[in-house]
Structure 1
Amino acid sequence: MPKTIKPLSNNEVKNAKPKEKDYVLSDGKGLQLRVRINGSKHWNFNYYHPINKKRINMGLGTYPDLSLVNARKLAQDARELLALDIDPKEHRESKHKEKLAQEELTLEKVAKEWFDFSSKGLSKNYCDDMWRSLDNHIFPKLGKRPIGKLTAPLVSNVLDPLAKDDRLETVKRLCERLNRVMVFAVNKDYISVNPIAGVKANYNSPKRIHMPTLKPEELPELMQTLANASIKHVTRFLIEWQLHTLTRPGEAAGTRWDEIDFEKKEWTIPANRMKMRKEHVIPLTSQALQLLDAIKPLSGHRDFVFPSDRNPKTHINNETANMALKRMGFEGRLVSHGIRSLGSTTLNEEGFNADIIEAALAHVDKNQVRAAYNRTDYLDKRRELMCWWSEHIERASQGSLSISGVNKLTIVR
């Protein structure tokens, strides 16, 4: 027969004195009073987990703040949960998190926790863009709202004006980022369900707008205009560097000297600076190397090939090339990112292998099965392609003052 335990009396609880070691007084049915050597008294409920049968102690409170009568009530509540195969300690923690979500865990706090967790390994520019979009559009109206009280109508009220202004791309990104924050909150057990999972369905998908770019036959016009443009040397170097390497604006602007291997004639962009989070090696042509030689007097002693005017310890702004192209008269015709399209179109028209062109542009094959089997980056073949492309740029610049063209330009500090 199980041992019969006599319930504690109020006097026993009140008069329990500390000893040389902590000790326990049992009230029966799992309720215990632990008396510490410092004289403090704590109520515990001792039980077996309903699933794994491990013995667990759950603290209930401190005597005399929690009386014997109330301690018994809490123990009884816990036993009722156990009868339903519910762990009372886990249940209490879940309720506590729900209360936090309803009162203290604001959307902005949880978003910051999500951002700190998910931004590791991502490029700084991408992370800045993610946080800026939330900070500009979501936090001013919803940032202080407890995440447990966030609803689909509240989010829609913020997104609707953007949709009416035809800013559907912004709406799409905000929906994606908000949902990632809410899924994070569900996984952290701050909330039980994501109440805004279906908000994106309320809005039309944005129309895909291609980046403005020039036709292949307009490349000489670009080179002639660039040669005579009243722009800073570093900006001109940057535009030609992007032309010869076919890189994205952020990748080109952030070029570091320690990424360049002059012996191998290669530029290795680390994964954290690439859109697809995959390291990208670019064969450098003689024209591209000439560009680096020409800019060395300006920035060879710094970390970045294209330093910022305001703070030379950082790189030039990603939008600098775009602003220069506008001032050169190409507004609506060409943006910095469109240089890649110009190169792609030209190379495809010349009959180069499409896979090699895609590899040169650091595009990831959308066919996942095909991508799994096609692991080569065609480095040798890309070297031939890039040489042809640089020579093509050089031919287009004949008669101009292209830095990498026939008439070489040397900058002296």
Structure 2
Amino acid sequence: MAKYKLTDKALKSAKPNDKDYVLTDGEGLQFRVRTNGSLQWNFNYRHPFTKKRINMGLGTYPTISLKAAREMADEARTLVAKRIDPKEHREEHRRMVLEQTEHTLEKVTDNWLATQQSTITADHIKDIRRSLELHIFDDLGDVPVTKLKAPTVITTLKRVEQQGKLETVKRLCQRINKVMTYAVNCGLVETNNLAGINAAFISPTKENLPALAPTELPELLKTASNANMHKVTRALFEWQLHTMTRPAEAAEASWAEIDFEKQLWIIPKERMKNGKEHIIPLTEHALAILEAIKPISGHRPFIFPSDRDPKKPRNSQTINAALKRMGFKGRTVGHGLRSLASTTLNEEEFDSDIIEAALSHTGKDEVRNAYNRAKYLKRRRKMMNWWSKHIEKAASGYMLISKISN
């Protein structure tokens, strides 16, 4: 048994000097008085293998009482006697507690998503988290990433597969693996135990989104012209068609992104699916849409404001809903307007690289992509002008917001 030397009275009367000093209690327990007045408990011992002297802090006085400090020192001495380093033992315990409370799949996912904010859009981040909430987190959200095993995750995903949601399973496998790769890189796990789990599921048959054929453009424009559609929705429909943009990119367009002097729409990288800034030459028809909508939203941040809250943009599903109301359900969707433009332009034998650039499809060569964006802008403007005039011609006299010819 240790022979104690300190008393509560001695501790209470300890005062700081011009240098730190130590009062010993016996067998390694020390009471350190700092020059700044702080009072700290310390356990000094020899490492059971290296025999080097090590100091292990036990806390501050009076938060840690003399009795509590002695009990902690006794526990540490017992570990040393068992050839266990008490400091390493404590760190391992802390790691295990963090693993159980902070390094769960759900929390690690949120940490990973926070790192993705500069590379993928806010909508895409919401989509990723929502899919995991719906299909994964109820079963596995509280499981530490170190405990995740392939059979357990596969069992959870099999229930999604049995619902016929094969594409969803594929995306979930990809997303969980990205989270686990992040966990490996952060040192939370040594290896990704979920690599290759996609092999346990039926591969989905790739189905393209429905889109109209180029010959059906006149029908689309005629129907839209006669449809009972809110002016903002009508303007958004034509804007998306003329600019060949994705539904969310078009719906969330802001006036701050428009350079009227250079007749450009500059979509920042934060809003783009590929995380790259996208510059779109604006045709006379596109500019006519902006002029028509200015009285409604020119004093607002977003070009196509929401009806419920004009300070927010139209929903990205607005055009999908409008197309359904017009009778095009199953025939096309908002994203299909891009396919319609792409097919038409390819049939007209425009340069495929120019078309891909207009659609913001980029390859892996960053230097080449940057060069092409600058090189193709003039040629893209010419192509976009042709496309806008083609839209007006296909309307066959039906009213369009973007109509500019006499």
Scaled by the length of structure 1, what TM-score is found?
0.83
Query: Does 2:214 match 1:221?
Result: no
Provide the residue aligned with 2:3 in structure 1.
10
Query: Does 2:377 match 1:384?
Result: no
Distance change (3 Å), C-alpha of 1:236 and 1:56:
farther
- Whether the aligned pair in 2 keeps the contact of 1:401 and 1:407 (CA below 8 Å) is no
Distance change (3 Å), C-alpha of 1:41 and 1:328:
closer
CA distance in structure 2 between the aligned counterparts of 1:373 and 1:251, rounded to whole angstroms:
23
Provide the residue aligned with 1:34 in structure 2.
31
- Whether the aligned pair in 1 keeps the contact of 2:25 and 2:31 (CA below 8 Å) is no
- Whether the aligned pair in 1 keeps the contact of 2:118 and 2:270 (CA below 8 Å) is no
Provide the residue aligned with 1:395 in structure 2.
393
Match of 2:292 among 291, 294, 299: 294
Residues 145-188 of structure 1 show CA distances to partners (whole Å, capped at 9, x for unaligned) of: 44444333332222112112221221122222222333334444
Residues 24-72 of structure 1 show CA distances to partners (whole Å, capped at 9, x for unaligned) of: 357999x562333679562334779x99xx9974325665324454332
Report deviation, 1:404: 1.8
SS in 2 for 1:305: coil
CA distance in structure 2 between the aligned counterparts of 1:403 and 1:381, rounded to whole angstroms:
25
CA distance in structure 1 between the aligned counterparts of 2:111 and 2:363, rounded to whole angstroms:
32
Provide the residue aligned with 2:132 in structure 1.
134
One-letter amino acid of the counterpart of residue 97, structure 1: R
Show the 5 A alignment for 1:186-197.
Answer: 186-197=184-195
- Whether the aligned pair in 2 keeps the contact of 1:32 and 1:43 (CA below 8 Å) is yes
Distance change (3 Å), C-alpha of 1:187 and 1:393:
same
Structure 1 range deviating more: 288-297 or 177-186:
177-186
One-letter amino acid of the counterpart of residue 300, structure 2: R
- Whether the aligned pair in 2 keeps the contact of 1:246 and 1:343 (CA below 8 Å) is yes
Provide the residue aligned with 1:84 in structure 2.
none
Provide the residue aligned with 1:70 in structure 2.
75
SS in 1 for 2:296: helix
Distance change (3 Å), C-alpha of 1:55 and 1:162:
same
Show the 5 A alignment for 1:45-194.
Answer: 45=44, 57-60=55-58, 63-65=66-68, 66-67=70-71, 68-75=73-80, 89=87, 92-102=90-100, 105-120=103-118, 122-194=120-192
Provide the residue aligned with 2:259 in structure 1.
261
Distance change (3 Å), C-alpha of 1:217 and 1:28:
same
SS in 1 for 2:5: helix
- Whether the aligned pair in 1 keeps the contact of 2:2 and 2:26 (CA below 8 Å) is no
Provide the residue aligned with 1:85 in structure 2.
none
- Whether the aligned pair in 2 keeps the contact of 1:212 and 1:334 (CA below 8 Å) is yes
Query: Which blocks of at least 5 consecutive residues in structure 2 are unaligned?
Result: none
- Whether the aligned pair in 2 keeps the contact of 1:265 and 1:285 (CA below 8 Å) is yes
Distance change (3 Å), C-alpha of 1:403 and 1:70:
closer
SS in 2 for 1:10: coil
CA distance in structure 2 between the aligned counterparts of 1:45 and 1:339, rounded to whole angstroms:
73
CA distance in structure 2 between the aligned counterparts of 1:368 and 1:293, rounded to whole angstroms:
36
Report deviation, 1:131: 1.4
- Whether the aligned pair in 1 keeps the contact of 2:30 and 2:42 (CA below 8 Å) is yes
Report deviation, 1:126: 0.8
Scaled by the length of structure 2, what TM-score is found?
0.84
Residues 259-308 of structure 1 show CA distances to partners (whole Å, capped at 9, x for unaligned) of: 11111111100000011111111000001111111111111111111111
One-letter amino acid of the counterpart of residue 20, structure 1: P
CA distance in structure 2 between the aligned counterparts of 1:244 and 1:300, rounded to whole angstroms:
20
SS in 1 for 2:57: strand
Provide the residue aligned with 1:362 in structure 2.
360
Matched pairs, number: 390
Show the 5 A alignment for 1:211-290.
Answer: 211-290=209-288
CA distance in structure 2 between the aligned counterparts of 1:167 and 1:206, rounded to whole angstroms:
8
Distance change (3 Å), C-alpha of 1:25 and 1:188:
farther
CA distance in structure 2 between the aligned counterparts of 1:341 and 1:227, rounded to whole angstroms:
21
- Whether the aligned pair in 1 keeps the contact of 2:32 and 2:42 (CA below 8 Å) is no
Provide the residue aligned with 1:5 in structure 2.
none
Distance change (3 Å), C-alpha of 1:368 and 1:307:
closer
One-letter amino acid of the counterpart of residue 33, structure 1: Q
Distance change (3 Å), C-alpha of 1:400 and 1:72:
same
Query: Does 2:342 match 1:349?
Result: no
Structure 1 range deviating more: 163-172 or 117-126:
117-126
CA distance in structure 1 between the aligned counterparts of 2:269 and 2:2, rounded to whole angstroms:
68
- Whether the aligned pair in 1 keeps the contact of 2:354 and 2:379 (CA below 8 Å) is yes
Report deviation, 1:191: 4.1
Structure 1 range deviating more: 258-267 or 186-195:
186-195
One-letter amino acid of the counterpart of residue 75, structure 2: N
